[in-house]
Each structure stands twice: as structure tokens, then as C-alpha cells.
Chain A
Amino acid sequence: MALLSKKDANLILDPLADNNPITIQVLGICSALAITAELKASVVMAISVLFVLGVGNVVISLLRNVIPAKIRIIVQLVVVAALVIIVDQVLKAFAYELSKTLSVFVGLIITNCIIMGRFEAFALGNGPWKSFLDGIGNALGYGVILVIVGFFRELLGSGTLFGMKVLGDPVAKTGLYALGYENNGFMIIPPAALIVVGIIIWVQRSRNRALIEEA
């Protein structure tokens, strides 16, 4: 990559795999669990977090020398909350349909510990460009897991992807259902998300043994 130096590129690539916020740092599990029953919700959440973390990291990084250390967590919360509300308001006025889908996630974005985690661990100590890359990288790493979990939960739980019936009609018994296949209702309840995340963690660590922590 000529566009980015190797160090900068790693800021984006690391969180996608070997330093993934969900599977390695185990952050942001709450939202991964709550909204991954549908693929569409996963994608919307991933894009929202991408925006908030990318912009938020830059804002915090620009302010890093003037933020009083004593109230830095509060300042970070204000920045996230303000960003989320601005996006929500603008969408309500100009893309009303989209804003309705998104409103469920507003609260979840504000409390997402990945966002606070990156502000605290990275943006407070690095320049705006690096922070931006770090934000994008972590949001992508989070998004990838969300989409994978959403894919499996919606496919196995409801037999649909993006709301489209891909395995046939469960009521009319067409497609796979004609062969006696049934949707697994367990997949659409939250605990299933933990199991899917667990399997992803297992696969990832068995492929890269360096990631296994010493007991």
C-alpha cells in the first residue's frame, strides 16, 4: 500500500484479525449480542459505529491537549452522544425511513465500550490522522464480526438473509423445508450470539496459536 505507510496500514488491518475488538479484546459484546438476529441490523450497526468511531476519534484526538484529565471520560461521552444525536436528527429530517431503523441503535452506540475504549486508549495519545485510521480499523473489525454473526443467526434462525427467504418457505414447505429441514429458533435468541462468537474465537485461535493466552 503506497497510500499508507506500513505502520498506518497496520492500524487498520490489525483490528480486523489479530487484535479484533470483539474476539480478542472481548469488547462490544453487548451490542453484538443484541442486534445480530438479523443481517440488516448488523450492517446498519456496523456502518453507524464506523461513522461515530471514525469522527469521534478525530475529535478527541484534536482536543487531546486541552481535555482536563479529571473529566476526560465525561468529555468522551459528550462527544459520542452529540455525534449520535446529530446523525439521528439529520436522518429524521432528510431520511426518515432510515432513521426509524437506526433509532434502536442510538442508545447502543453511545454505550458501546469499543468507542470509549479507542478514545481512551488511542485517540487521547495520538494525532488525528492516526486516530482516524485506528477508528476505522476497529469499527471494521467490529463490523466484520457483527456481519458474520448476523449472517449465521439469520440464516439458521429464520432461513432468511436481509429478510429474503433463501431456504424456501417454512410455512408452505418449499425448498429445503420440503426435505424436513426446520429453522433453529434458538439462533434468534441472544445466547446464540455468544455461542457463534465463541466459535469464531475458537476458529481464529486454532489457526493462529500465538493468540492463545497463557492460563
Chain B
Amino acid sequence: MAINTEKNSYTVVFAVVMVIVVGSLLAFLASGLKPKVDENQRFEKQQNILYAMGVNDNEGESSVSFVPTSEVESEFSKYIKEQLVIEGTEAKEKQDAYLIDMKKQLSTIKSGGSAELPLLIGEKDGKEFYIIPLYGKGLWDAIWGFMSVDENMVVQGVFFDHKGETPGLGANINQRFFMDDFVGESIMDGNSYAGIAVAKGNGDPLNENKDDNEVDALAGATITGNGITAMIKDALKLYKPYLETIRKK
């Protein structure tokens, strides 16, 4: 039986069948795999948060290794003491505050609503870490991360990641040589929350000066770097009232 593939009716039927078949196949697959994917994403977030407070399996100078997925849940409850939601200078305890989506909160704030800002308090070796979630824009797509500070507002660790920055350039924001530079930098400039700028040609490529509110930029990734600068600034603006209550002067 030869089919006349030139007929308009055939074309329409073919298109409809194709869309239904492919669409339902993908929908079926996506909903079937969703619980597994969600779990992976939750573990990843826990790993990232722990990484930012220095709980990781890093070895040597260049590897970025997280706590293994199998242990991340117990490690997370061991190190994270409090999960708070910040409103101005007030903080309320909230279960699983770390799952709050910063992207949604930021867009609520932009449209004038009141948002839930998560802040996690971790404790390691008797020291407290205040972990701030970050979210912003890189060159191509979203960038995000976590930054932990102590009560002197000195950065204890950061974690950055991205959705689609250029491999080899902006994508390197999640590499050790970039993230490690932030450790020890103060986010304060005198009494103002200046943040940390990703600066080109600051004459300090080894990052020996920890009081300049600057880290050395990645070559070829100006916009991604600017995105990081802006992301930290934006978050500090929101968290400043609360950070002011814990800061040691």
C-alpha cells in the first residue's frame, strides 16, 4: 500500500500524530523521573551549602569535591544548626528554609511584594557561619551560589555555579582558583556593606590583599565576573539589616 505523502490532509495528520506521540513520550518520561531528579537537586543544594562553609572533600589545590551524595543528608543536619527566614532585622526559624528558591524571592521583591529570605547558620569546630544564598545573571543565563561569613563579616567560603556560562571562560566561576580567592576577604568597607568586586587588573593576581574588597577577575569572562559582583551586592542589600544585628563592631 503506497501512501500519498504529498496530500495536505496526510501532512496534517502526520504532524498531529507526531506531536502527540513525542509530547506524551516526553511528558511521561519527565513525570516518571521527577522524584528522582528532585532528590538529586535537593542533595546538590545541600552539598553546595556545605561546600560554602568549608565542609567538603577537597583534596589538593584544584579539585572541587563535595560531601558524597550518600552522606550529604546526615552531614547537612549535623552542620547546619538553624534555618532562618529574614524579614528586616527579624529572623524566624523555618524548616527546610534552604529549599526556598531565591529566584522567586528576588522577583517578588522586584514587584514590590514581601519575600522570604533564607539564611542558614552553620557550626563547625565551635565557629558560626552565616550562609547567604546568592542569585544573579551571568553572560548567558543564571548564576547562583552561597557565601558564608563569620560575625566579623569576613568570607569563610563561597560556592558559585552557573547554568550556561561559556566553557573555559565564565564557566570557571565554579573552579577552586576562583572561589578560593574569596576566602578571607571582608565584605565590609569601613561601615558600609561594600561586597566583593570581581576586578580586572587590580594588580593583585595572587589575592594577597584581603582588605580591598576585590578578587582577581577571570580572563575573557568580564560579564560573568560583573554578574558575581552584582549578585553579592544585591544580596547584601537585602541581608544588611539582619547582618548588622550580628556583626561584631
Contact = CB atoms under 8 A, between A and B. Distances in A.
B30 A89 contact: yes
Contact of B11 (A68, A89, A107, A189): A68
Interface residues of B, number: 31
B198 to A, nearest CB: 17
Interface stretch (A30-38, A136-144, A206-214): A30-38
B5 A69 contact: yes
Nearest to A79: B22
B58 interface: no
A41 B26 contact: no
Interface in B132-163: 163
Contact of B167 (A37, A78, A171): A37
Contacts of B205: 171
Contacts of B33: 89-90, 92-93
Max count, chain B CB within 10 A of own CB: residue among A104, A157, A163, A165: A104
Given A86-B26, A92-B40, A185-B219, A71 B169 contact: no
Contacts of B169: 37, 188-189
A96 interface: yes
A70 B163 CA distance: 36
B86 interface: no
A85 B19 CA distance: 15
Contact of B14 (A34, A68, A154, A171): A68
A67 interface: yes
Interface string A62-87: 00011111110011001000100110
A66 B3 contact: yes
B62 A163 contact: yes
A71 B7 CA distance: 12
A104 B37 CA distance: 18
Contacts of A89: 26, 29-30, 33, 37
Contact of A93 (B18, B36, B219): B36
25 contacts: A37-B166, A37-B169, A41-B167, A66-B14, A67-B5, A68-B10, A69-B6, A71-B11, A71-B14, A75-B14, A82-B22, A86-B26, A96-B40, A96-B44, A103-B163, A103-B164, A107-B164, A153-B168, A157-B168, A158-B168, A165-B62, A171-B206, A185-B219, A188-B169, A189-B220
Interface of B: 3, 5-6, 10-11, 14-15, 18-19, 22, 25-26, 29-30, 33, 36-37, 40, 44, 62, 163-164, 166-169, 171, 205-206, 219-220
Given A67-B14, A74-B15, A89-B30, 18 more contacts: A34-B167, A37-B168, A66-B3, A68-B11, A78-B19, A89-B33, A90-B33, A92-B37, A96-B40, A103-B163, A104-B171, A158-B168, A163-B62, A165-B62, A185-B219, A188-B168, A188-B169, A188-B219
